[in-house]
């Protein structure tokens, strides 16, 4: 039900999804046949191959570069470690279509694996820049839970038309074709576990920024990527020009999610593949769901365990998610999704520490988002607003330290999004209230927030309503340019 402001009523995203699927014919739940599913499992296409196929649908880029330093090997039955190949032959040479095939160019497209500090830590990066122009602005794009940068294939070309901009799409650490180090939680307390899980991702993003020598950038995050984009803004202030959240998860507050128990810290990700003994406590969601969640068994674990049935299980999601796309593109996205889902688990295990069953955040962003753009400058120990801890998160944070002066925040939702649009309006109100408060106390603040609704789009706004999404994004990018000129 929508209210007069275009908001949607609050409900569990999982419940919403189940309600939609209840209206689907049962015969169509898993449309991929057993034989076709077995053939796909047996073929074992590597993530590098499937990513390349998806990116080949980018206009004017029929042969995209694809690094094979990770994701070049077909998965083993137990899942691939996504190991890093250091051989130069696995690197990808840049691709530059000529003016006859690239009417909005010339542009240069790159696929790189960016090595980070520590063992087996690297981010898969796909980028495009305009040749012969100085890079004045950078746009960084983060995908959602379990997905990959290839999902943005409808956006790269259109957004890279903007003069002076360089685009980067990244696979989150432990997802996509980034490396998949073991995910470990060492903290024992509730908040410590949440902070450690968030830091696992945002520390990798900051390491990437340092490696690329980028001072400031505009950050776009979808779903879980949006949640982590907020976390990054809070922990590493001073590096964002604008924050764009596309159907972000984790904004609204739910009393159960805040107080719900978490999985116990494990020594390694492989331990998370094993269900725990004992009965689950009574909770408002189905017992089988809360049992798997509390055991930190991800949906991708089920895909891996199911062997030849895996492609058929995945088709139940991809057939609905990509039904609006041309058949060849929908098939490529199905293949890409399955090749990623069957990789050995890593970053996926963080979800149980960030969200409770029902997809509500254990530390809701509605409690923290007002701090975006208003933190003390300098690294923080975690994504916690300074206003929530007046003495400072770190001993080095003191009252007379300079603060950020606010950054614009845009929250985007589809007009039939199952994510809670009402929470987006509440988050924008919180940010704008904080702006008024800071402006009264300390002068001008640039931290205005707004909500944008994309027509004919669901949760994947950048893909469902890609044309309007790209138009809105170009407008927001232009707004960054105007703000810079004013400064």
Q: Could you confirm whether 459 is annotated as catalytic?
A: yes
Active-site hit among 207, 386, 417, 445: 417
Annotated catalytic residue 417: yes
CA distance 38 to 306: 11
Q: Which residue has the tokens 């995209």?
A: 64
Identify the helix (H) or strand (E) that includes residue 411: strand 409-414
Q: How far apart (Å, rounded) are the C-alpha atoms in residues 303 and 312? A: 9
What are the structure tokens assigned to 377, written together?
A: 């400058």
437 Cβ neighbours under 8 A, 6+ residues apart: none
CA max distance for the chain: 67
CA 399 vs CA 150, 232, 388, 434, 436: distances in Å: 43, 22, 14, 18, 20
Question: What is the arrangement of strands in the sheet containing 240-246, beginning at the earlier edge strand?
Answer: 107-115, 122-130, 165-170, 137-142, 217-222, 240-246, 409-414, 449-454
Q: Is 298 a catalytic residue?
A: no
Distance CA 110, CA 90 (A): 13
- From the list 319, 342, 313, 343, the residue with the least C-alpha distance to 331 is 319
What is the Cα Rg of the chain in Å?
22
Q: Could you tell me the two tokens for 469?
A: 């999404």
3-class secondary structure, 105: coil
Q: Round to whole Å and give the CA distance between 130 and 166.
A: 7
Query: Distance between CA atoms of 198 and 449, rounded to whole angstroms?
Result: 23
427, 415 Cβ separation under 8 angstroms: no
Written as six digits, the tokens of 124 are 């898969």
Give the strand pairing for 122-130 and 360-361: unpaired
Tokens of 445: 């603040």
C-alpha distance from residue 306 to each of 39, 85, 455 (Å): 14, 29, 37
Q: Could you say which of 334, 370, 380, 459 is catalytic?
A: 459
Phi-psi bin for 358: left (phi > 0), alpha (psi -120 to 50), beta?
left
Residue 106, preceding peptide bond in cis (omega within 30° of 0): yes
Of 80, 178, 179, 223, which one is the catalytic site residue? Answer: 223
Return the active site residues: 223, 417, 459
């Amino acid at each position: 039900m929508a209210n007069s402001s275009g908001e949607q009523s609050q409900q569990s995203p999982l419940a919403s999804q189940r309600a939609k699927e209840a209206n689907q014919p049962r015969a169509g739940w898993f449309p991929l046949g057993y034989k076709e599913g077995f053939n796909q499992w047996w073929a074992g296409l590597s993530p590098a191959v499937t990513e390349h196929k998806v990116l080949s649908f980018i206009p004017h880029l029929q042969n995209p570069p694809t690094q094979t330093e990770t994701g070049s090997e077909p998965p083993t039955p137990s899942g691939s470690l996504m190991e890093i190949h250091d051989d130069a032959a696995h690197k990808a040479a840049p691709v530059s279509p000529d003016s006859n095939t690239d009417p909005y160019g010339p542009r240069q497209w790159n696929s790189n694996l960016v090595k980070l500090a520590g063992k087996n830590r690297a981010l898969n990066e796909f980028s495009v820049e305009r040749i012969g122009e100085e890079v004045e602005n950078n746009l960084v794009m983060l995908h959602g839970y379990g997905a990959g940068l290839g999902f943005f294939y409808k956006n790269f070309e259109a957004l890279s038309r903007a003069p002076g901009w360089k685009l980067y799409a990244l696979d989150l650490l432990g997802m996509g074709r980034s490396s998949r180090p073991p995910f470990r939680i060492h903290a024992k307390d509730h908040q410590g576990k949440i902070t450690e899980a968030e830091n696992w991702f945002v520390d990798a993003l900051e390491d990437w920024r340092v490696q690329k020598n980028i001072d400031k950038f505009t950050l776009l995050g979808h779903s879980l990527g949006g949640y982590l984009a907020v976390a990054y803004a809070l922990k590493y202030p001073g590096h964002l020009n604008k924050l764009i959240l596309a159907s972000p998860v984790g904004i609204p507050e739910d009393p159960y999610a805040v107080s719900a128990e978490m999985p116990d810290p494990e020594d390694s990700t492989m331990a998370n593949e094993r269900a725990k003994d004992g009965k689950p406590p009574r909770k408002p969601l189905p017992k089988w769901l809360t049992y798997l969640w509390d055991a930190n068994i991800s949906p991708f674990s089920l895909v891996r365990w199911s062997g030849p049935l895996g492609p058929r299980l995945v088709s139940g999601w991809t057939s609905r998610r990509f039904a609006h796309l041309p058949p060849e593109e929908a098939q490529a996205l199905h293949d890409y999704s399955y090749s990623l889902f069957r990789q050995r688990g890593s970053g996926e295990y963080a979800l149980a520490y960030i969200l409770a069953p029902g997809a509500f955040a254990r530390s809701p962003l509605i409690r923290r988002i007002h701090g975006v753009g208003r933190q003390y400058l300098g690294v923080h120990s975690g994504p916690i607003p300074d206003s929530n801890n007046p003495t400072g998160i770190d001993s080095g944070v003191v009252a007379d330290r300079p603060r950020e002066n606010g950054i614009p925040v845009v929250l985007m939702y589809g007009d039939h999004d199952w994510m809670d649009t009402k929470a987006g309006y509440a988050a924008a109100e919180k940010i704008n209230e904080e702006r008024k408060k800071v402006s009264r106390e300390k002068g001008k603040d640039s931290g205005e927030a707004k909500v944008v609704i994309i027509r004919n789009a669901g949760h994947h706004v950048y893909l469902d309503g890609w044309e309007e999404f790209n138009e809105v994004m170009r407008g927001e990018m232009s707004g960054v340019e105007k703000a810079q000129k004013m400064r």
